[in-house]
Amino acid sequence: MSQHFPSSVLFCCDHNSVRSPIAEGLMKKLYGQRAYVQSAGVRNDREVDGFSVAVSAEEGVELERHRSRSFEEMIEWGDDLGGFDLIIALSPASQRQALELTRFASIDVEYWPIMDPSGLGETREAKLAAYRQTRDQIKGHLLTRFGPPTER
């Protein structure tokens, strides 16, 4: 853990239905209220993915009530991206969008290359395995970047 712990983090990916909701949920689970955490997508044209819900539940993270939202919706609803200390992009498209939207702000944008499990696997078990791999990649990045979980 080489960087400071931010007070607010925004995770983003393409649709805010798989990677960024998992990251938001895991960060809240691991670090509690040490940071304000949200997630968004370049688009919000999908509901949270059922496999994301399932593999998150295995870690004690509830995603069933997560509502997908886009950067555009965040801005429309009055969420100022400038209020975040750190934006973590989990896909190349979301990294480009985050950098574009924050080009005049002093916000750190990090890119974590996280696999998109959508469309992988032929059977339910194979799909779950792909989603678990994505979840575990995110968890590994969280622990590396932010350190051990907060004691409760």
User: Under a CB-based contact definition with an 8 Å cutoff, are residues 49 and 118 in contact?
Assistant: yes
Q: Measured between alpha carbons, how far is residue 106 from residues 36, 85, 136 in Å?
A: 18, 8, 30
Q: Measured between alpha carbons, how far is residue 25 from residues 11, 18, 28, 76, 100 in Å?
A: 10, 11, 5, 23, 25
User: Under a CB-based contact definition with an 8 Å cutoff, are residues 117 and 134 in contact?
Assistant: yes
The pLDDT tens digits for 10-63 are: 999 999 999 999 999 999 999 999 999 999 999 877 788 899 999 999 999 999
| 8-140: in CATH 3.90.1520.10 | no
The pair of structure tokens assigned to 2 is 């080489």
Q: pTM above 0.85? A: yes
